[in-house]
Structures are given as structure tokens and as C-alpha cells.
A and B are shown apart, each in its own frame.
Chain A
């Protein structure tokens, strides 16, 4: 039993420091709604606690995730006799701040002093901790309320222990900061003094819990807490995947089949074995395509250090059988996709009669948009360390899904999950790549075969050549306008190889989660809407990359809005608001089979055009939409709902006489409902602008003869400081009462590229329909 006992694991300390001075975060009231709530708030000051039932007004999809939610405080909280409170972070830290913000929720609700809170990282164990998948911008959305319940349970147990000690009714005691106080006598007991007694109590039933009135929050929503690893990061002490060293550890680099679905025929290890430090060369097992998260196979070089392993790997002579995808060629494939969207495809939404309305329209505007494959290239390439001891596997790895990794390890090694330990390190970026544990499975298989601890290090070239790439897509939108310029018909065809192809052979249609990312959930107030998904075969591993299909969908839809504005001689923001229409709840079309709402119930997470309109109006006002700009400058706007959040972005560009593009300013408004750490939301919006600029300006993975043509940051460049937006302002909409939390990690990305390209059009009259922009602006 570990009730409230010190876990004895290595913990890092919570730290507090001032908010950054760069840019601005402003909390801006949602007009009307929030005013009303504030006025009411003045009248109900008496209670500082609310019954849980009052706070549980919203449901989430958390319970439907594998292994659901665990809210047992004994799993997540321990208190040492010296008062140090240790809180478990069960989600992975890849830069969003979640390792800090989830424990912060517990600490606030239980009344803990953040300076006396330590955070420990959970190993992969979903039976114990509940779902641990850190993706889909879900962590705060699914865990705000459960973490509050955990904190409230712990607080209640401490209060009960104090009341029993003092022999007073529990109603007479309350929790201050890190102590429990008796109202009448002023007696106080610190958390540490109560821990042992509290640990003997039963956990209170959820429906009896009383949660803090949000007005009483000290940490949640304040943005005054720095990430727990901040100091360690600045001193080089923070531990990432490659920073684990075990006695006797071997360093491994693998040559994998250069074409997806290919396999090794023969290899000659002679030259590799001549490299000083190389100890052994051996085949590693691969799985047939589609290989899901299983290893690709190939030839491993085992050495005494990483440098030797890389050099040895590069000296290998290998004959490959390239398999079925040997002809994959980006130029030819692009033509295939563009042909596909010019013909009818599988109808995935059909409201009214778009075909008929397009025929009778006064004017039809057609936009075809193309976006290539993208690679994640997080700064830390995939890496994993594994140790096999007496039939048990222990790994240390930067994984977004420690629970899923544990299950996949057990399956692959054909051992019980009880014999698998997955230790989650910090992630040097993830962006979806590290949800797929192929690199961990490689390390585990080799550790068992060599009966030695091994670290498998992917080089950057390995990462670029063997990623689970963001899809490549063609998007074609036809908008039919009546005589007054009103849009009366909308047909959107989207063709792109599906993530489903990584799991199911020959999958050619997008799966509901992809269709639900900006295609079938398009909220415009248009009578006749038809969405089609023509077939597209996959020839490489397709995976999810930050915001996934929302990238091409937002680009197409929000570019089209500006194209309509141009065609009708109107202001793009006005046309955007007109298309969104009046504030209302938009139901998912009855014509859609399995509509995807990011896994959330529509009752608590509807498509709310009032919130969509509001972020548009807010960002336009803050950015000074319509203000006079210097020569060569232009402003563009875009809005997109994704991960059940609402984000609008205005980008200002400057383009010089040679066509060189710079971004002096970005303004982003986000409505993500109730939020925990506005400072980290701001950092996510800043990062999304930079990543969005990389996507728009230079991001492209291409194929020839089945092989990825890029290898590293020299030929797959990303934005550096000289090109980054100079100023990024973030405006966070305060949640109206009862608005549940939604995503923040991903949804900043989709509106950026269309806002940028709309700005380029405003500045130059050049419409960018194909990404990346690269030299399209050159004069």
C-alpha cells in the first residue's frame, strides 16, 4: 500500500518565476456572456466550495479512451512527513507543459503550496493511471476535472484526519495553504503532520466531493508557474531519451529498408566491422507492410559508442528488395491526386443539392490546393534504451504513449505486460511521431537478442527517411454564388492517403477522424454542401503530425474564403463572418456516417459559431484589421475549429521587391474553454506560428523510386530565428461559465498557413495554392 507515503522516486522541484515579457497575453471577456457571469458573481460570495455536481456539468470522451480515467488520489498523490507533496504526472512532456500543468491542478485543488510540490513521472501503466496517450490535444481537456477530483479527495481526507485529531466536526475545519485550520480555535496542522492519519481513511465518494470555487484558484488559470523542468533544461541536466546510460550498454544504429515495405536480401558486414568501436553486425527483424508500429527491420551495427555505430552503419553494403512501393514518385502521385479531385468520389457529406446549385449558380469559383508530405523532425530523433533481465524487459524512451508502448512491447516480445516496464523520459519534441513506438520495439528486440543493455539511436537521416509522414493531399473546392454574391453551393473534394493505411492493407479512403478535421464539420451557413473523398493509395507510412488533416483542410477552406472575397470585391473578414453566419449551434450533418468530434460528446462540445465568430472579431480588432500598412505589406485572416477549440489568426507579411517574404507580426485569438496555464497556451501559439511558417514556406518531403529525397535539416529546412515571426501576440478568451476545457497543443497550427497566404495575396495579388511557397514569390 502506498497511501500518501513518499514514493521515494526522484522528483524535480516546482518553481515559480515571473511571466515572460515578450508579446502579450490578454484575457478578453466574451461579450455578454461573461459580463453576465461577473455580475452574478458579486451576489454569490458566501461559498468558496461548490458541490462536485455543480462542476460536472460537462462530459468528455475521457472515459471512452483505452483504460479510461483513474481518480484515486492514492495513485497520484503522496505526502511525506516533512510535508513534501509528490504528485504523479502520467502524461508525457514534449514541450506543452503538461507535466507541470496536470499536477498543478491537483495542487491547487488540494491546497498544496507549489514550492513544496514535487513531480514524478509515471511509468507506462494504464491499469493504474488510466489512459496515458499524450496526443490529440486531450490532456487538459480530459483531465482538468479528474485532477480536481483527485486534489479534492486528498484535501477532504486531510481535513477529515484533522477533524478527528481535534475531535471537532469536519464542517468546522478548512484547508489553507498546505495546512488544515480549525475555524473556532485557530489550531493548525500541516499536511505532513496529517499524512499518516489521512492515509488510513477511505477515499471519499466522488459525488460527495466539494470543489473549489474557481474564484479561489491560486494556480489554475494564473500563468504564474514555470514548467517544473525549466531550471534543469537551462543547465543541461534535464533527461531526454538518449540521456539514459546503463553499465555495459551497447550503442546501436540500424540500416532500414529505404522503401516502405521493402526488405533486406543480403548484407556484407566487412567494411562496417573495420570501423574502430564496431563490435557486431546483425539482421534485425522487420514486419510486413502495413507494419503498424512494428519495426521496419534491416541491419543493426552494434558498437561501443554512437559515433562508431553511425560510421559502421554507413559502411554497410546491403542488397534490398524494394517491394511494392519501389515506383513511388511525388510528381506522378501529385498528378494522380489532382486527377482524383476533378472527378466524383465517395460522398462523405451531402446537404441539400450542391450539384444542382452549382449548375444554376451565377458564378462558380474553383480552388485547387496541394500540400505535400511533411516530416515531424522533432529536435530529438527517435531513440530508446532497453534492458533484458531474467525474462523482464525495461525500457527508457521518449514516448507519447507509454501505456500503449508497454502493451506493444508485451505483444512483440510475447511476454506478459507485467514483465514490461516503460520509463518515460522527457521528449525532445514529439508532434505525433513519438506516439508510434517502432524505435522502442527495435531496442527491446535487440536487448533481448544480445542479452545486453542497448540504446538504439536514430540518426536525423533515419528520422527523415523512415518517418510516419503527414499525408500529401489535393483539396478542390467549388463555391457557387448567386447574383448577390452569396455562396449557395459548396463542393469540397479531399484526396489524401489515409492514416488507416498504416494499419490496414490497401486502405484508400480517409477514416472518420480525418474526415472530421475540417471537411465534414465545415460550419459555414451554406444551404447546399457536398464533401467527397476520392480514393488515394498510400505508398509510405502515413501518421499523424500536429493537427493532422486540419492542415490541408484549413488551408483550402480559408484560402477559398479569401478567393471568394476577391472575386466579389469584398473584405475577406466580412465574407468570412458572413459564411460563418449567425451565432448558433451547428449540428453535424445527418448525412455523415460516424461524424468525428475529436472523441467528445457534442452536448458539451458542439460546433458553436458564436465562439467561432468571436475569435474572428477579436483577432481582427486586436490586429488592427484594415489599418493602413506600409508598401509591400499585407494582412490575411483565417479561422479554424479543431480539437474542439476555436482559433483565429491574422498574419502580417512584408514582401520586398525581390519577393523575399518576412512576417513582422502575428496575432492569434484562442478560445479553448477553461484553461490551466495561459502562459503555456501563449507559448503553444508562438510555436504554432513558427511551425506554420515552416509548413507554408519550406516544408516538403518528396519521393523518387520509392525513396524519400530529403535527409536532414539542410534539405528539409525549418524556420530559424532570422525568418521567424518577429512579434506573436496571443489573446486567450476567458471561458464563459460552464465552458469545458479544449485543446491547445495543436489547434494553433491550421489557421496559420491560410492566413499567411491570404496576407501574401493582399500584399502582392499572388494567390498561393500549392505549398510550400518556396520560390513562388521570386521576382
Chain B
């Protein structure tokens, strides 16, 4: 039995402890906002927060999860996290598939560095967007930072 604290709710799950967290979220718990993109922690579509740190859930065995997990579904109770608000204002998404992960990465970045520089964004935002929304992601992060300042 594996115990997980996800978005403030504790789940006791009968799963193979080696199962990556991503598949527990999606296939066992039906939390579909966290996406599969590569399975090798390259693309970041599966990004969640564990004790506030952005983590790629596709490559993390569920047995290795020791902190509180927050997914896109739990990022903000009213969907008004400054990053989400900035994403709407800049109309960042195209297909949208990677954006849960992008938003989780951006939220973690802003929690750590409330006023990130372009270099900070380059270093932290390593998630892939094949549609190429990077320019708007950068602008939205700066906007979200300004709104929190």
C-alpha cells in the first residue's frame, strides 16, 4: 500500500511501488491534467510540485514520493493563480497539451524567484512546447511576476 498526499487529499493505493507517479495520477486516480510526453523526464509535460519543487512525474517511482504532491488541478482553488491569469491574458496555448506542465514549472519558478530574469526563465523553463509558444510563456511569466510584486 502506497500513501500519497495529492492536492491536500491523502490516498492509500494498492499499486506496484515502481510505477511512475504520472501513471498513478492518470490511470489510478483519473487526474488527467498531468500529461505524458516522453517518459524520460525530458519534456516536462508531466510536471507536478512535490513540497513546492517542480518534479517530472513520469520518471519518479511512486515509492520515492515523500512530500506533498500538487498537480495542475490543485494549483489554485479558484484557477486564479497569477500564472494562470497571465496565461489567459497572453493567450499562451496553441494545442495546449504541454501547458499544464509549463504552468507548474512557471509557478515553481515564481515561488522561488518572484522576479525572475530572462536568464532565470531560460534556466528553469526547460519544458518543451512543440507548437512554439515560448515567447508568450516568457512574457506571461514576467507579467505574473509583475502582478505579484
A723 to chain B, nearest CB (A): 9
B49 to chain A, nearest CB (A): 13
* Separation of A551 and B4 alpha carbons in the complex (Å): 48
Contact (Cβ within 8 A) B88 A379: no
Contact (Cβ within 8 A) A242 B135: no
Nearest CB to that of A722 among chain B residues?
A: B122
Contact (Cβ within 8 A) B23 A307: yes
With A230-B88, A457-B36, A691-B130 known as contacts, the answer to whether A378 contacts B135 (CB < 8 A) is: no
A474 to chain B, nearest CB (A): 27
Contact (Cβ within 8 A) A95 B131: yes
Which residues of B in the span 26-59 have a Cβ within 8 Å of any Cβ on A? 26-28, 30, 32-40, 42-43, 45
Q: Which residues of A contact B93 (CB under 8 A)?
A: 95, 227, 229-230, 233-234
Name the residue among B38, B43, B94, B96 with the largest chain A CB count within 10 angstroms: B96
* Separation of A22 and B135 alpha carbons in the complex (Å): 7
Q: Which residues of B contact A426 (CB under 8 A)?
A: 95-97
Contact (Cβ within 8 A) A687 B71: no
B69 interface residue (CB < 8 Å to A):
no
Contact with A along B50-74 (1 / 0, CB 8 A): 0000000000000000000001110
Q: Which residues of B contact A276 (CB under 8 A)?
A: 16
A169 to chain B, nearest CB (A): 44
A683 interface residue (CB < 8 Å to B):
yes
Chain B's interface: helix, strand, loop or mixed, by majority? loop
Contact with B along A200-240 (1 / 0, CB 8 A): 00000000000000000000000000110111011111111
B115 interface residue (CB < 8 Å to A):
no
Q: Which residues of B contact A20 (CB under 8 A)?
A: 89-91, 136, 139
Contact (Cβ within 8 A) A712 B40: yes
Which residues of A in the span 665-697 have a Cβ within 8 Å of any Cβ on B? 679, 683-684, 686-691
With A22-B90, A236-B33 known as contacts, the answer to whether A308 contacts B16 (CB < 8 A) is: yes
With A713-B38, A713-B42 known as contacts, the answer to whether A94 contacts B99 (CB < 8 A) is: no
Name the residue among B45, B130, B134, B139 with the largest chain A CB count within 10 angstroms: B130
A596 to chain B, nearest CB (A): 27
B145 interface residue (CB < 8 Å to A):
no
Contact (Cβ within 8 A) B23 A683: no
A725 interface residue (CB < 8 Å to B):
yes
Contact (Cβ within 8 A) A379 B43: yes
Q: Which residues of B contact A23 (CB under 8 A)?
A: 135
* Separation of A726 and B128 alpha carbons in the complex (Å): 16
Nearest CB to that of A427 among chain B residues?
A: B95
A23 to chain B, nearest CB (A): 7
Nearest CB to that of B124 among chain A residues?
A: A721
Q: Which residues of B contact A17 (CB under 8 A)?
A: 88-89, 91
Nearest CB to that of B62 among chain A residues?
A: A307
Contact (Cβ within 8 A) A379 B35: yes
Contact (Cβ within 8 A) A231 B97: no
Kindly identify which residue among B15, B45, B84, B134 contacts A721, using a CB–CB cutoff of 8 Å.
B134
A459 interface residue (CB < 8 Å to B):
yes
Name the residue among B39, B97, B123, B139 with the largest chain A CB count within 10 angstroms: B97
With A230-B88, A236-B34 known as contacts, the answer to whether A720 contacts B126 (CB < 8 A) is: yes
Which residues of A in the span 718-755 have a Cβ within 8 Å of any Cβ on B? 718-722, 724-728
B75 to chain A, nearest CB (A): 8
Nearest CB to that of A235 among chain B residues?
A: B79
* Separation of A243 and B125 alpha carbons in the complex (Å): 25
* Separation of A277 and B20 alpha carbons in the complex (Å): 13
Q: Which residues of A contact B130 (CB under 8 A)?
A: 377-379, 429, 431, 691, 718
B134 to chain A, nearest CB (A): 4
* Separation of A565 and B89 alpha carbons in the complex (Å): 44
Kindly identify which residue among B37, B72, B129 contacts A236, using a CB–CB cutoff of 8 Å.
B72
Number of A residues whose C-beta is below 8 Å from B? 75
Q: Which residues of A contact B137 (CB under 8 A)?
A: 721
Q: Which residues of A contact B20 (CB under 8 A)?
A: 307
A558 interface residue (CB < 8 Å to B):
no
Q: Which residues of B contact A377 (CB under 8 A)?
A: 130
With A233-B93, A690-B132, A718-B128 known as contacts, the answer to whether A428 contacts B138 (CB < 8 A) is: no
Contact (Cβ within 8 A) B87 A95: no
Kindly identify which residue among B27, B43, B99, B134 contacts A713, using a CB–CB cutoff of 8 Å.
B43
B121 interface residue (CB < 8 Å to A):
yes
* Separation of A159 and B39 alpha carbons in the complex (Å): 56
Nearest CB to that of A724 among chain B residues?
A: B134
A171 interface residue (CB < 8 Å to B):
no
Q: Which residues of B contact A18 (CB under 8 A)?
A: 89
Contact (Cβ within 8 A) A234 B30: no
Q: Which residues of A contact B123 (CB under 8 A)?
A: 722
B110 interface residue (CB < 8 Å to A):
no
Q: Which residues of B contact A277 (CB under 8 A)?
A: 16, 19
Q: Which residues of B contact A373 (CB under 8 A)?
A: none
B118 to chain A, nearest CB (A): 8
B103 interface residue (CB < 8 Å to A):
yes
A96 interface residue (CB < 8 Å to B):
yes
Contact (Cβ within 8 A) B72 A235: yes
Q: Which residues of B contact A240 (CB under 8 A)?
A: 35, 97
Nearest CB to that of B22 among chain A residues?
A: A307
Contact (Cβ within 8 A) A94 B42: no
Nearest CB to that of B129 among chain A residues?
A: A379
Kindly identify which residue among A245, A460, A684 contacts B37, using a CB–CB cutoff of 8 Å.
A460
Q: Which residues of A contact B128 (CB under 8 A)?
A: 379, 713, 718, 720
A21 interface residue (CB < 8 Å to B):
yes
* Separation of A303 and B71 alpha carbons in the complex (Å): 25
B85 to chain A, nearest CB (A): 9
Contact (Cβ within 8 A) A233 B96: yes
Which residues of B in the span 77-108 have a Cβ within 8 Å of any Cβ on A? 79, 84, 87-91, 93-100, 103
A770 interface residue (CB < 8 Å to B):
no
B115 to chain A, nearest CB (A): 18
Which residues of B in the span 1-34 have a Cβ within 8 Å of any Cβ on A? 15-16, 18-20, 22-24, 26-28, 30, 32-34
Contact (Cβ within 8 A) A233 B99: yes
With A428-B97, A457-B36 known as contacts, the answer to whether A721 contacts B88 (CB < 8 A) is: no
Contact (Cβ within 8 A) B136 A231: no
Contact (Cβ within 8 A) B35 A428: yes
* Separation of A379 and B32 alpha carbons in the complex (Å): 15
Nearest CB to that of B19 among chain A residues?
A: A307
* Separation of A379 and B125 alpha carbons in the complex (Å): 16
Nearest CB to that of B58 among chain A residues?
A: A307
* Separation of A459 and B37 alpha carbons in the complex (Å): 8
A117 interface residue (CB < 8 Å to B):
no
Q: Which residues of A contact B43 (CB under 8 A)?
A: 379, 460, 713
* Separation of A381 and B42 alpha carbons in the complex (Å): 14
Contact (Cβ within 8 A) A379 B79: no
Contact (Cβ within 8 A) B91 A226: yes
* Separation of A311 and B59 alpha carbons in the complex (Å): 12
Contact (Cβ within 8 A) B94 A95: yes
* Separation of A658 and B148 alpha carbons in the complex (Å): 39
Kindly identify which residue among B19, B71, B122 contacts A305, using a CB–CB cutoff of 8 Å.
B19
A603 interface residue (CB < 8 Å to B):
no
Nearest CB to that of A306 among chain B residues?
A: B23
A714 interface residue (CB < 8 Å to B):
yes
A90 to chain B, nearest CB (A): 18
Nearest CB to that of B42 among chain A residues?
A: A713
* Separation of A679 and B90 alpha carbons in the complex (Å): 10
Q: Which residues of A contact B91 (CB under 8 A)?
A: 17, 19-20, 226-227, 230, 679, 683
The 7 closest A-B pairs by CB, nearest first: A236-B33, A690-B132, A428-B97, A95-B95, A236-B72, A95-B94, A233-B96
A-B contact pairs, 9 of them (CB 8 A): A20-B89, A234-B103, A242-B35, A377-B130, A684-B94, A689-B132, A690-B132, A714-B40, A720-B126
Q: Which residues of B contact A (CB under 8 A)?
A: 15-16, 18-20, 22-24, 26-28, 30, 32-40, 42-43, 45, 71-73, 79, 84, 87-91, 93-100, 103, 121-123, 125-139, 143
**What 20 new A-B contacts, CB under 8 Å, besides A17-B88, A240-B35, A721-B121?**
A21-B90, A95-B96, A230-B88, A233-B93, A234-B93, A235-B73, A235-B79, A305-B28, A307-B19, A307-B24, A379-B128, A380-B35, A683-B136, A686-B136, A687-B133, A712-B40, A713-B38, A713-B42, A721-B137, A727-B135
